[in-house]
Structure 1
């Protein structure tokens, strides 16, 4: 559950600006302000079920954006390569050729537009 919530927060970081104002509002109230479905329903004067459907719809929309644009996937690949590169460069007796290969992979990832 925590992993899914973290993923949704990352997706919101990437795709939040593409959402409609109401979608942003429901996401922020539920995931960022940590309001319950009942609390949101009371504030918005709608049913708890309607709030649940809005929240799920927002998550689905962001997942659709990710499946088409892949910004989060690329970010995660970059993070892995950067962490590996940082570890490689901080290791004594490091292999410059391996560090160069990692830099090459990062550059290739940046150029990969799909």
Structure 2
């Protein structure tokens, strides 16, 4: 469940603005505030099934967007490439070498932009 929660939070960060306001609210309550389906249903005066259906639609839409746009996948691939490059820099240049510090700084700036 933790893996799904993490993935949904990442997808929501990327694509959440494309969901309806209701779906955004349910996603916030369920995945960020850790409210149960029953607690959300009570808050909005709907059945647990209706809340589940809304969440399921939102999750499906987020997965569909990721299937088409692949922003999460591309971000993960960039992060892996940066990690490998950083590992290579550590092997080739000793810490304290000005080139090492400069490349580390560049990698940090690239990581912030990803």
The residue aligned with 2:84 is 84
CA–CA separation in structure 2 for the residues paired with 1:50 and 1:17: 21
Mapping 1:1-114, distance limit 5 Å:
1-92=1-92
**Structure 1 length normalisation: TM-score?**
0.78
Give the number of equivalent residue pairs. 94
Say which SS state the counterpart of residue 3 (structure 1) adopts.
helix
CA–CA separation in structure 2 for the residues paired with 1:37 and 1:18: 22
**Structure 2 length normalisation: TM-score?**
0.78
CA–CA separation in structure 1 for the residues paired with 2:65 and 2:35: 25
CA–CA separation in structure 2 for the residues paired with 1:4 and 1:35: 16
Unaligned 5+ segments in structure 2 are 95-114
Say which SS state the counterpart of residue 46 (structure 2) adopts.
coil
CA–CA separation in structure 2 for the residues paired with 1:30 and 1:50: 14
CA RMSD of aligned residues (A): 1.4
